[in-house]
């Protein structure tokens, strides 16, 4: 053993051994590329541990964070506004919409986050694991107050005449987050108060807060970019592009999503206050899509349709064509029963419905087995179940001629070519009852050829020219018609019975994809009208049959058993809620179960159209 073997290392540099480029005893802290031989140095110290990474997620596959002291578990990518709703915290916003891209330009939703030195926009900032969010600190409240003061600086004081009053976020947020007098010295910036953007929408540029919701909607949902933002600073405005107008079939959706009273419907403008209206969940009858809607009404008049969210059918939108169909509920209604055809230009005498039922029963009893039946796919499932059962069991009908509105032009988004809301339901019910459906053209030929002398019509909508068919119907000996609206055809009915519109009773439709949908009654039937199913029940009893139905529900539960496709449909559970809480109060149009001003119809499950 050499002397070197017994020496302890001193840490001083020594000359390297022969054939080696590394020192045999490097200075303390130096790192050896090649460790020394075992007989000349002690064992090397273990490598330093790697720095610890972020802790594993508390709930794998999800993000767990804390908002206002409450823990919340969300899916990755969820923004702070949606997450805060889950724990009962309300982050205010103007430009955010759950179905549109994120703009983050209103700055109303700024909140404190534990991983950011400054306030961050809640709409644009996704949550991360372990993050702590605070939405009620003094810093956040001052930001909200400052934003409200900025937005209201040049905003006109139009609340007393604004159609958005009662549904306006500016009103709600001013009372909640600002509530201070304006500090503006001098006049406000003046802009165009009545800028007509298109045939259905007018813009008040002074009220606009440039949230850009309307611009994003037109570009992203119908993909018709007809709106833009022009100008700079306080003179920035929303407008159409030069030489164009807002003529999209989805233009009125911009009115729905406008958080203030800037975009207004030219049809609804100055007609009613939101707080005077009530809302009933219903279904649009403008085409076979079956968009879910709210029917906004006062007394027995309908004032507008608004879209109601349904992820499977219309998301949060509806077309302008469907919105305009509410007018048929108010104008040209058949409100009284009439017996006898119209002679010349004189008005026909009105009779009690009971007398008309007796006259219809007597006329139909004389032509049993020879009566043609015309059924409209505008009628509900309950109407068709009752009337076609009556036609088969009492009148002896085996074939049903299909009426309904004429075909139209489909578009690229929601509107279908079939303008009838329940054609699929008519097909299913006829199949279940063992009845054959025949086209409307065959009925015209049969009447012209003299083969059909008696006709029972459930609805007087026809796919051809109404005037032409009315001339053919004048040849009929017996023409019993159940109609909702007056037309040239109803003038030729030997017995005319007033029928209720779909907003005047509970019922259901089957839309084009086979989805059965419930709708709610808004108000009682106008005049002496009854639903088609109730008129069929009275005719059945008048002609010696049995019909104990007293409601749409009973009709569906009793007669719907014949239709296999209705077996899995729960008529009661499928009904949308029509009130905020148990009681007799209907939904106010400004709330729909949520605070006023929230017109985006809830938080959808997914983003996109």
The mean pLDDT value for 245-249 works out to 96
Nearest-angstrom CA–CA distance, 510 and 426: 9
Please check the confidence at residue 56 and state whether its pLDDT lies above 50.
Answer: yes
pLDDT band at 381 (very low <50, low <70, confident <90, very high): very high
pLDDT band at 47 (very low <50, low <70, confident <90, very high): confident
The pLDDT value recorded for residue 548 is 86
* Residues 363 and 493 sit within 8 Å (Cβ to Cβ): no
Nearest-angstrom CA–CA distance, 159 and 143: 24
Give the percent of the chain with pLDDT over 90.
Answer: 71
Please check the confidence at residue 430 and state whether its pLDDT lies above 90.
Answer: yes
Top pLDDT among 70 and 20 is at 70
Nearest-angstrom CA–CA distance, 557 and 296: 29
SS3 (DSSP) at 264: strand
The structure tokens listed for 306 are 């608004």
Question: Could you give the maximum distance between any two Cα atoms of the chain, in Å?
Answer: 139
Q: What pTM does this model have?
A: 0.84
**Phi and psi (nearest 5°) for 385?**
-60, -45
Nearest-angstrom CA–CA distance, 33 and 2: 26
* Residues 71 and 135 sit within 8 Å (Cβ to Cβ): no
pLDDT in tens, 13-25: 444 444 444 444 4
pLDDT in tens, 541-577: 999 889 888 999 999 999 999 999 999 999 999 988 8
**Phi and psi (nearest 5°) for 591?**
-120, -55
Please check the confidence at residue 415 and state whether its pLDDT lies above 50.
Answer: yes
* Residues 289 and 317 sit within 8 Å (Cβ to Cβ): no
Please check the confidence at residue 5 and state whether its pLDDT lies above 50.
Answer: no
Burial of 598 (0-12, 13-18, 19+ CB in 10 A): middle
Q: Which residue has the tokens 């012209």?
A: 448
Q: Any idea which of 46-50, 89-93, 219-223, 524-528 has the lowest mean pLDDT?
A: 46-50
The structure tokens listed for 217 are 């909607």
pLDDT in tens, 443-452: 999 999 989 9
Please check the confidence at residue 34 and state whether its pLDDT lies above 60.
Answer: no
The pLDDT value recorded for residue 145 is 95
Nearest-angstrom CA–CA distance, 507 and 58: 47
Of 350, 365, 361, 452, which Cα lies nearest the Cα of 400? 452
Q: 256: how many CB neighbours lie within 10 A of its CB?
A: 20
Nearest-angstrom CA–CA distance, 290 and 283: 6
pLDDT in tens, 122-180: 999 989 999 999 999 999 999 999 999 999 999 998 998 999 888 888 988 998 888 88
pLDDT band at 52 (very low <50, low <70, confident <90, very high): low
The pLDDT value recorded for residue 606 is 37
The pLDDT value recorded for residue 12 is 45
pLDDT in tens, 326-360: 999 999 999 999 998 877 666 678 899 999 999 99
pLDDT in tens, 287-329: 999 999 999 999 899 999 999 999 999 999 999 999 999 999 9
Angstrom CA distances, 281 to 339, 488, 517, 522, stand at: 35, 32, 11, 8
* 108-118 per-residue burial string, b: 16 or more CB within 10 A, e: under 16: bbbbbbeeeee
Q: Which residues pair with 375 in a beta bridge?
A: 402, 458
pLDDT band at 580 (very low <50, low <70, confident <90, very high): low
pLDDT band at 597 (very low <50, low <70, confident <90, very high): very low
Angstrom CA distances, 63 to 73, 78, 130, stand at: 6, 9, 8
């Amino acid at each position: 053993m050499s002397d070197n073997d017994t020496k302890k290392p001193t840490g001083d540099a020594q000359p390297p051994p022969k054939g080696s480029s590394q020192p045999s005893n490097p200075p303390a802290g130096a790192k050896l590329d090649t460790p020394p031989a075992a007989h000349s140095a002690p064992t090397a110290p273990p490598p330093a541990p790697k720095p610890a990474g972020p802790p594993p997620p508390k709930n794998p596959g999800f993000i767990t964070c804390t908002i206002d002291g409450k823990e919340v578990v969300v899916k990755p990518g969820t923004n702070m506004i949606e997450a805060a709703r889950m724990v009962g915290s309300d982050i205010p916003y103007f430009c955010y919409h759950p179905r549109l891209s994120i703009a983050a330009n209103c700055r109303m939703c700024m909140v404190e986050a534990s991983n950011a030195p400054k306030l961050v926009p809640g709409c644009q900032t996704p949550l991360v694991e372990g993050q702590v969010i605070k939405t009620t600190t003094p810093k956040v409240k001052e930001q909200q107050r400052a934003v409200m003061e900025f937005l209201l600086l040049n905003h006109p004081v139009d609340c007393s005449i604004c159609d958005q009053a009662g549904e306006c976020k500016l009103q709600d947020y001013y009372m909640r987050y600002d509530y201070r007098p304006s500090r503006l010295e001098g006049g406000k910036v003046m802009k165009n108060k009545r800028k007509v953007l298109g045939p259905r929408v007018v813009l008040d540029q002074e009220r606009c807060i440039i949230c850009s919701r309307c611009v994003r909607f037109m570009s992203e949902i119908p993909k018709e970019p007809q709106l833009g933002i022009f100008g700079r600073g306080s003179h920035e405005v929303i407008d159409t592009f030069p030489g164009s107008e807002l003529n999209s079939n989805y233009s009125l959706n911009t009115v729905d999503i406008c958080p203030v009273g800037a975009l207004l419907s030219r049809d609804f403008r100055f007609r009613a206050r939101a707080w005077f209206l009530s809302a009933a969940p219903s279904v649009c009858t403008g085409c076979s899509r079956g968009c879910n809607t709210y029917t906004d009404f006062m007394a027995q008049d309908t004032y507008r349709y608004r879209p109601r969210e349904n992820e499977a059918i219309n998301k949060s939108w509806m077309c302008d064509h469907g919105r305009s169909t509410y007018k048929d509920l108010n104008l040209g209604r058949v409100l009284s029963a009439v017996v006898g055809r119209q002679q010349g230009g004189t008005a026909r005498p009105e009779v009690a419905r009971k007398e008309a039922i007796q006259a219809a029963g007597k006329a139909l009893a004389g032509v049993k087995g020879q009566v043609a039946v015309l059924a409209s796919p505008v009628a509900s499932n309950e109407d068709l179940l009752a009337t076609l059962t009556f036609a088969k069991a009492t009148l002896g009908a085996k074939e049903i001629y299909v009426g309904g509105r004429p075909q139209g032009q489909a578009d690229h988004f929601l509107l279908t070519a079939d303008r009838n809301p329940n054609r699929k339901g008519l097909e299913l019910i006829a199949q279940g009852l063992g009845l054959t459906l025949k086209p409307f053209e065959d009925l015209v030929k049969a009447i012209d050829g003299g083969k059909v002398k008696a006709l029972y019509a459930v609805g007087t909508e026809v796919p051809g020219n109404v005037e032409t068919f009315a001339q053919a119907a004048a040849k009929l000996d017996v023409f019993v018609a159940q109609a909702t609206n007056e037309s040239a055809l109803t003038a030729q009915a030997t017995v005319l019975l007033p029928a209720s519109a779909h907003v005047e009773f509970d019922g259901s439709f089957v839309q084009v994809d086979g989805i059965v949908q419930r709708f709610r009654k808004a108000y009682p039937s106008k005049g002496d009208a009854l639903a088609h199913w109730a008129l069929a029940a009275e005719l059945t009893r008048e002609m010696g049959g049995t019909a104990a139905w007293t409601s749409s529900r009973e009709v569906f539960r009793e007669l719907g058993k014949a239709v296999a496709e209705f077996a899995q449909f729960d008529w009661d559970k499928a009904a949308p809620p029509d009130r905020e809480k148990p009681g007799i109060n209907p939904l106010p149009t400004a709330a729909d179960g949520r605070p006023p001003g929230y017109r985006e119809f809830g938080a959808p499950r997914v983003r996109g159209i």
